[in-house]
Chains A and B, each alone.
Chain A
Amino acid sequence: MPVLEVEGVTRFFGGFRAVGDLSFVVQDGEILGLVGPNGAGKTTAFNLITGFLAPTAGRIRFAGGDVTALPPHERARRGLVRTFQNTKVFARLSVEENVRAGCFLRIPGGIRRTLAGLSRREDAALRAHVDELLDFTGLAAQRRKPAEDLAYGDQRTLEIAIALGAQPRLLLLDEPFAGMSHGEADRCMTLIHRVRESGVTVVLVDHHMATLMRHCHRLVVLHHGEKLAEGAPAEIQRHPKVIETYLGRVADA
């Protein structure tokens, strides 16, 4: 069953067509890569899928339901969660508070709790969730540090921890490897695999063609806002249009 269905999505900015008639599907449990050079429309597509931009035309279906008109927080409530290209964490809060913030949707609400506070059991349950996520992402040792004091790689890990707090069904990662060394990128990828193994479908957007080729089950290649090719990495490597775009005309022999 597809988790995400993008159908004929188009977005114009004035006269400029950033994304044109984009259609693809994300299957439950896979890691899908969205690739393309700068200006190919990846960020726009990302913002359209996650609700930070409205499409000029087309539909987006998530877990069987039409989410095209829903704002980002509604999509998050249904399990569609994203990270951002420029590292976004709650800078002045501690690592622990950041993850707790990510678990916002799990915090029970209502007037009684606003005035009297969470019950001891609810509080303990919340604390357990936060601890679980800190252990899962390996940030437990730094839980009290202000997020802005973390090393860059750890901040990006924290971003994923925050996103996981929202209990996503589909996690969209925007350029998760940007600015990372090979070692850091590999460690990040290991975490992403573990995330997937825990039952979350993942979509990655990035430039690192090589990394995506190695780790994604399928790829969608964008060019000038349109889908150039879709399929397993091996197919994409051999795809004539992809080769033409990235390497120029196919050389003889």
Chain B
Amino acid sequence: MTALLALAAAAAAPFVFTSVAHQSLLVLIAINVILVASLDLLMGAAGLLSLGHAGFMGIGAYTSALLVFHRIAPFVLALPAAALAAATAGLFIGYPSLRLRHHYFVLVTFISGIILTLLFTSLVGVTRGPMGLPGIPFATLPLPGGVYTFNTFQSKVAYYFLALGLAAGTLWLRGRLMRGRLGVALAMIREDEDLAMAVGVNTHATKVLIFVVSTGLAGMAGSLYAHYTTFLSPETFTFVDSFNLFVMNMLGGAGTAAGPVVGPVILTVVRDALRSISPVLAEIAFGVFLIAVIAFLPAGLVGALQARRRREA
């Protein structure tokens, strides 16, 4: 029920906040929701900390951008291709590393993120490296009347609805995955992996599965991002960005239903507000914020709220 209300509010938002700056923010929030929801599948559901998530977003972004730029595929195919590319990378990285103990896995994800950033920067022939990749074509949708182009320079509203739709879909998928058999397996892995194995859970296969789904969704978000900004640079997909996603997830509340929405909404807005005052101070504030959240609100805002409600009950 609250989900429907939230969705209605989200749909109404671009008509309430009509300035270009605000609508731009809305699109970014929607994309961040996809990213954080996908990260939460790892952190909240399975208890797997991943510090390289932005790297997978980058894979999706560059894949989609290059496919459409070089006229190899239209947007409708490039988006799923981006998700597939990121998911494949997730498979290569996840399959061996999920056999290791958890903190080694965390390290591998962190370093994978670094390596991906370095690859985006150094494969200049493909990605144009630090010079950036400009002129990415807008997203297009083949409709009965003709091809519709999401010209995000003219209007952000249509693209917002595209992103909102995918975000809602992602949240729905996440909800479904966390219920039922897979959700039980993930909770068992999160709480005690050995015990999970002892009662029949193939923990490795389950972890790889959720990792592939998570990275695939991040790749999809990357594609959305690329065709929104029409310009890509490796600077967007660094460990700082992975870090920011982590903070958003933690602040909202890992594993909670509303967390992946609350976190991105608050932090994207706060960040933007701080940045307009002073970009450097914004980053400092962010860092302080993060440490405060880890220290005082480990369950996130939604988690803390739930805990208080349980105690009063």
What residues of chain A have their CB less than 8 Å away from a CB belonging to chain B? 50, 52, 71-74, 76-77, 81-84, 88-93, 97, 100-102, 104-105, 107-109, 113-115, 117-118, 162-163, 165-166
A101/B198 contact (C-beta < 8 A), A114-B176, A114-B177 known? no
**Which residue of the partner chain, among B177, B180, B200, contacts A105 with CB atoms under 8 Å?**
B200
B interface, by DSSP: helix, strand, loop or mixed? helix
Q: Say yes or no: B197 contacts A72, CB within 8 Å.
A: yes
Q: Output the least CB separation between A75 and chain B (Å).
A: 9
Q: Say yes or no: B181 contacts A109, CB within 8 Å.
A: yes
Most A CB within 10 A of own CB, among B195, B196, B201 = B195
Q: Say yes or no: B195 contacts A114, CB within 8 Å.
A: no
How far, in angstroms, from A89 to B188 measured CA to CA in the complex? 9
Q: Say yes or no: B195 contacts A81, CB within 8 Å.
A: no
How far, in angstroms, from A97 to B185 measured CA to CA in the complex? 12
How far, in angstroms, from A100 to B192 measured CA to CA in the complex? 15
- Chain B positions within 8 Å of A163 at CB level: 198-199
Q: Output the least CB separation between A174 and chain B (Å).
A: 10
How far, in angstroms, from A90 to B182 measured CA to CA in the complex? 16
A72/B177 contact (C-beta < 8 A), A90-B187, A90-B188 known? no
- Chain A positions within 8 Å of B194 at CB level: 52, 84, 88
* Residue-wise interface mask of B (197-234) relative to A, using a CB-CB cutoff of 8 A (1 in contact, 0 not): 11111110000000000000000000000000000000
Q: Say yes or no: B198 contacts A84, CB within 8 Å.
A: yes
A to B CB contacts below 8 Å, 25 in the list: A71-B202, A73-B201, A74-B202, A81-B198, A89-B192, A90-B188, A90-B191, A91-B191, A93-B187, A93-B191, A100-B184, A101-B184, A101-B196, A104-B196, A104-B201, A105-B200, A109-B180, A109-B181, A109-B182, A113-B181, A114-B180, A114-B181, A162-B195, A163-B198, A166-B200
How far, in angstroms, from A173 to B176 measured CA to CA in the complex? 35
How far, in angstroms, from A162 to B184 measured CA to CA in the complex? 13
Q: Output the least CB separation between B303 and chain A (Å).
A: 12
**Which residue of the partner chain, among A93, A102, A108, contacts B181 with CB atoms under 8 Å?**
A108
